[in-house]
Amino acid sequence: MDRRVVVTGMGICAPNGLGLDAFAESLRNGVGGIRFQPELRDLNFSCQIAGKPDVPQDRLTDYFTPLQLRGLKASGIVYGVMAGMDAWRDAGFGTSSPATPLWDVGLIFGTGILGVDKFREAIHHIDEGNVRRLGSTSVVQTMASGISAYLGGMLGLGNQVTTNSAACTTGTEGVLMAAERIAQGKAEVMLTGSCSDSGPYVWGGFDAMRILPSTYNDAPETASRPMSATAAGFVPGSGAGALVLESLESAQKRGATIYAEVLGGEINSGGQLGTGSMTAPNSEAVQRCISRAVAHAQIQAAEIDVINGHLTATTKDALEIANWSQALGRSGSAFPYMNSFKGMLGHGLAAAGSMECVASLLQFREGLVFGNVNCEDLHPEIAQRIAPEKIPQQTMEWAPKILAKASFGFGDVNACVIFKHWNG
C-alpha cells in the first residue's frame, strides 16, 4: 500500500452482544446469541432458530431522533447505524453534525437485502391502492444504499459515501475497499462495515433450499457447528459490524488508539468455473485469494498466528480448511490457530464479514485467541489436516501478532484481509 492504514475504532450490534465490551465478554466465554424464533415456527419454517440482535426500544433513542424512528422498519439500518455510530465514537470523533462536509472522511457500508419488511409494507399499500400511505421514508429504507445514506448524513461525510454488496463477502470486501482508498491518498478516514436485515423474509429462501439445520429447534445453542462432524447446515443470523480505518499519519496526529494495522489483502472470484458455482467455491480461486493477500501484505505465510475462517457449518468446511492449508503450505501442528465465530453468531450473511472482523481484532485488544464452540467432534477430514489443538475449544491466553480473516460468498466471490497487532 502507498500509505499505511490502521484501525482506530470499532462498533458491533451482534446476536450475542451490543457494544464492544459485551460482545468481547460473550466471545471470551463462548456465549452465543442463537435463539428459538416463535415467528419462524408460526410460519412453518423447518429451521426455527436464528441469531438476531436483541435491541431494546429505549436504546434506539441514543442513535435516532424521534423523527428518524417514525416508520423505521428496516432492521439492517438499525443495526448498521448502531454499529457505525459506536465505531465513530470509539475512534474518538464527535457525533454532532459539522458545519461543512468532512471532505477527507468517507464511508463504505455494505448490505445484501435491506428494508425487506418496509418493502413488504409498501407492496401491500400499493396493491390496496393506497400509494399515498407509503410515507416519505419508504425509498431510503428499501434502497441498498439506505444504510450509507443514513450514516453519511448523520456524520456529515463529504468523501465517497457508498454501499457495496457481495453476498457473504460484503463486510470483508468493504474493509479492503476502504483501506485502498486511504492508501491511495483519496481519503484520510473511512468508516466501513456491513449489515443484514433479520426475519423470515430474509431467511425464507435458505430454509426453502434445505441448507439450514432443522433438528435443533429445541437446542438452538448447539445448532451452529462449524468444523464439526455433526454439522447440519448454517444457522441464519443478522446484525452489523463497523470499523474506522484511518491513515497512520492522521491517527498519530490525533493521538488515536490503534487496534491494528491493515497490512493488505485480496479480492477475487472463481468465475463459477471448475469446481465453482453460484453456491460452491472454486478452490483454485480461494487459494489464490489467500496467497495473494499474504503477498500483498508483504509477510510470509509462516508469520500468520490466527485465522478467522468463513466456516459456516456446512459440508464445505473441510474443503475450506484444505484450501487454507494448501495456500499457506502449513498443516498439522504448523497450522495457525483457527476459529469460527458462527457457532455463537450464526451466519450473518452480508453482515458476517464485518462482525467477524470486529471479533477477530478484539483478540488483539484482549490478548486472547477466542475459542470455538460446538466442534468438540471435529470433522475427520479436518482432524487429518490440522492438529486438533490448533482449533481451541476454549479461549486461550495467547497474544496473536498477525491475523488473517477471509470470507467466501454466493456467486463464488472471495476476500481475505491481513491484520497486524499495533504495538506502537
For the chain, give every domain's residue range. Answer: 5-254, 264-421
The three grid cell numbers given for residue 115, joined into one nine-digit string? 428494508
* Amino acid code (one letter) for 379: H
- Cα-Cα-Cα-Cα dihedral sign, residues 299, 367, 107, 56: positive
Q: Where are the alpha helices (DSSP H) in 297-385?
A: 317-328, 342-345, 352-366, 380-385
DSSP one-letter string for 202-241: HHHHHHHTT-S--S-TT-GGGT--TTBTT---PPBB-EEE
3-state secondary structure of 111: strand
- CA–CA dist 292, 416 (Å, integer): 9
Q: In DSSP terms, which residues pair with 241 in a beta bridge?
A: 12, 194
CA 149 to chain centre: 20
Pairing of strands 189-196, 105-111: parallel
Residue 274 zone, left/alpha/beta (φ > 0; ψ -120 to 50; rest): left
CA 424 to chain centre: 27
Burial class (CB in 10 A: 0-12, 13-18, 19+), 132: exposed
The radius of gyration of the chain's CA atoms, rounded to the nearest angstrom, is: 20
- CA–CA dist 83, 20 (Å, integer): 10
- CATH topology identical between 5-254 and 264-421: yes
State phi, psi for 180 to the nearest 5 degrees: -65, -40
Q: 283 near 323, Cβ under 8 Å?
A: yes
Q: Give CATH superfamily name and number for 264-421.
A: Thiolase/Chalcone synthase (3.40.47.10)
Longest alpha-carbon distance in the chain: 66
- CA–CA dist 355, 352 (Å, integer): 5
State phi, psi for 245 to the nearest 5 degrees: -105, 145
**DSSP code for 334:** T
Q: Which residue matches cell numbers 463477502?
A: 169
CATH class of 5-254: alpha beta
3-state secondary structure of 374: coil
- CA–CA dist 169, 139 (Å, integer): 25
Q: Which residues contact 226 (CB under 8 A, 6 or more apart)?
A: 309, 311, 312, 313, 317, 340, 342, 343, 372, 374, 375
The pLDDT score that the predictor gives to residue 61 is 93
Sites in the chain below the pLDDT cut of 70: 1, 124-125, 127, 132-134, 136
Predicted model pTM: 0.96
- CA–CA dist 170, 415 (Å, integer): 9
The pLDDT score that the predictor gives to residue 47 is 98
